[in-house]
Amino acid sequence: MTDKPYKNYFELMPAYLTILDRDLRIVQANKRFHEDFGDFEGRYCFQVNQHRSERCEHCPTERTFRDGLRHEVEEKFVNNMGHEIFLLINTTPITNEAGEITHVMKMGTDISELKILQDQLRNSRERYRKLFEEVPCYISIQDSDLRIVDANRRLREDFDATPGDKCHQIYMHRAEACVPCIVKQTFDDGQVHQTEEVMTSPKGEQVNVLVYAAPLRDTEGKISNVIEMSTNITQIRQLQSQLTSLGLIISSISHGIKGLLTSLDGGVYLVNTGLAKNDRARFEQGWKMVERNITRIRRMVLDLLYYAKDRVPELEKTLAPVLAEEVCEVMRGKATEMGIDFKCEFDSNAGEFDADPKAIRTLLINLVENAIDACRVDKKKKTHQVRIGLKGYSEYIKFEVEDNGIGMDQEIRERAFSLFFSSKRGSGTGLGLFISNKIAQAHGGEIKIDSELNKGTRMIVKLPRKHPVSETEAPKA
């Protein structure tokens, strides 16, 4: 067999073929190489291929000379037109009869188009990644164990999500999966599922989310993962709850007013019939009912105004003992009528503080009314006491309203300041403590509840002497 056919194959190969000696000089090259890279005789491969004057740092040919093995690398050549060409380089040792490597054959396959496609693919991947990262939703890719394989930036930042975490752990801080779990459902039936959840962020914030789960399939069409996307709809839900609250307040107010009107009507009946029968005791009883219920209606309207207007307190230097005394005078009659021992223990040197006296009076009266109610419905004790306390400290004023009525359990304590929460069933509007708390906050102060079921309650109101002006000027959250 002659060398001629091989020579032909060598020439016609749709690749760049060169034979290099130990000095990396090109001793032979095929036609295609010759056409695209010009003269090579006696020149080094790096001069011809890369237009360089020194050897390349990682030379596959040198490695093949050294270890006798084939090597594959990607290299960038510059052809005689000055164009860059991306090549996949394969080096193969050529040995003599003694088995010594005398030359290396270097084959370069043009992969420029592949390279362009790869770049495009990378760019498009980056674009999708960016979309995945920056979209204003929480997105996670989960496996069938509900483990997070990938999480977008928002999910990582707001929920500290890292791959390997379980979905329910980071969203719900719970060891068990949700029931039902829409990711599981999607794994089971391949359908898109939707649900609404309330998640808790690591900061303890409640986040209302609308959650979608959709299948991700592999090339065989099998579901490999499920993508879960959660949109934060907290603001919408808050708005809805405000609207619901508005509905509730109307129904609650109308119930309250109906009760008050009935009592007022009763008072009028007693007054009229007392007059007609010349029964003074009945007349007086009726008149007290009228007075009492007019006061209650007035108070209710004031509370409502406070709620509706979100009033900014009209601050003035107020003497705390004078204010407390006024409240005691107003409430003493009601308490003694119910057979409740009513004590006012004031530190007469408690001094001044920045207050809206009308608002603080409303606050204290609300607390005292609650204390009296708590005693009124308590049948477990024979005698009841309500105590109003006042003490002055250097930075703040402390009011206390204490009773030995029915007390509160933990649930009632926790919900006591919520709007429309009333433990008094029909007889409360659920406004009083909500408004009292708002008043305390508007003064830069706070109300604390110390209460035990069946034992009694102590409400502690701390109000700063100097109103923290900067806080009130800050925009409301």
Give the footprint of another protein on this chain (CB under 8 A).
251, 254-256, 258-259, 261-263, 265-267, 269-270, 273, 282, 285, 289, 292-293, 377, 423-427
Torsional sign, CA 181, 183, 187, 192: positive
Asked if 92 and 70 count as a contact pair (C-beta separation under 8 A), the reply is: yes
Least distance in Å: CB of 451 to another protein? 16
Cis amide linkage into residue 180, ω under 30° from 0 = yes
Smaller CB separation from another protein, 270 or 368: 270
What values do phi and psi take at 69, rounded to 5?
A: -105, 165
Smaller CB separation from another protein, 85 or 372: 372
Tell me the C-alpha distance between 3 and 42, whole Å.
23
Smaller CB separation from another protein, 159 or 342: 342
Least distance in Å: CB of 347 to another protein? 35
Helices (H) and strands (E) in the chain, counts: 15, 17
Smaller CB separation from another protein, 93 or 405: 405
What values do phi and psi take at 140, rounded to 5?
A: -135, 150
Smaller CB separation from another protein, 223 or 260: 260
Least distance in Å: CB of 155 to another protein? 41
Tell me the C-alpha distance between 225 and 218, whole Å.
9
Least distance in Å: CB of 437 to another protein? 22
Asked if 169 and 146 count as a contact pair (C-beta separation under 8 A), the reply is: no
Which residue, among 402, 406, 407, has the nearest Cα to 342 in the 3D structure?
402
Helix (H, G, I), strand (E, B) or coil at 443: coil
Least distance in Å: CB of 427 to another protein? 6
Smaller CB separation from another protein, 215 or 256: 256
Tell me the C-alpha distance between 72 and 202, whole Å.
50
Least distance in Å: CB of 250 to another protein? 11
DSSP states of 408-473 as a string? --HHHHHHTTSTT--SSGGG--S-HHHHHHHHHHHTT-EEEEEEETTTEEEEEEEEESS--HHHHH
> What are the structure tokens assigned to 371, written together?
């204390």
Tell me the C-alpha distance between 349 and 347, whole Å.
5
Least distance in Å: CB of 281 to another protein? 11
Smaller CB separation from another protein, 398 or 415: 415
Tell me the C-alpha distance between 323 and 317, whole Å.
11
Smaller CB separation from another protein, 259 or 389: 259
Smaller CB separation from another protein, 202 or 426: 426
What is residue 339's DSSP assignment? T
CB atoms under 10 Å from CB of 365, counted, come to: 21
DSSP states of 231-281 as a string? EE-HHHHHHHHHHHHHHHHHHHHHHHHHHHHHHHHHHHHHHHHHHHTT-HH
Smaller CB separation from another protein, 70 or 299: 299
Smaller CB separation from another protein, 266 or 389: 266
User: Which residue type, as a one-letter code, is found at position 25?
Assistant: R
Least distance in Å: CB of 434 to another protein? 19
User: Which residue type, as a one-letter code, is found at position 190?
Assistant: G
What is the dihedral angle through the alpha carbons of 154, 159, 160, 166, rounded to the nearest 10 degrees?
Answer: -110
Least distance in Å: CB of 429 to another protein? 12
Least distance in Å: CB of 404 to another protein? 17
Least distance in Å: CB of 255 to another protein? 4
Least distance in Å: CB of 377 to another protein? 5
User: Which residue type, as a one-letter code, is found at position 167?
Assistant: C
Smaller CB separation from another protein, 180 or 426: 426
Asked if 227 and 213 count as a contact pair (C-beta separation under 8 A), the reply is: yes
Least distance in Å: CB of 424 to another protein? 6
What values do phi and psi take at 290, rounded to 5?
A: -60, -50
Smaller CB separation from another protein, 152 or 404: 404
Which residue, among 369, 419, 435, 364, has the nearest Cα to 397 in the 3D structure?
364
CB atoms under 10 Å from CB of 157, counted, come to: 11
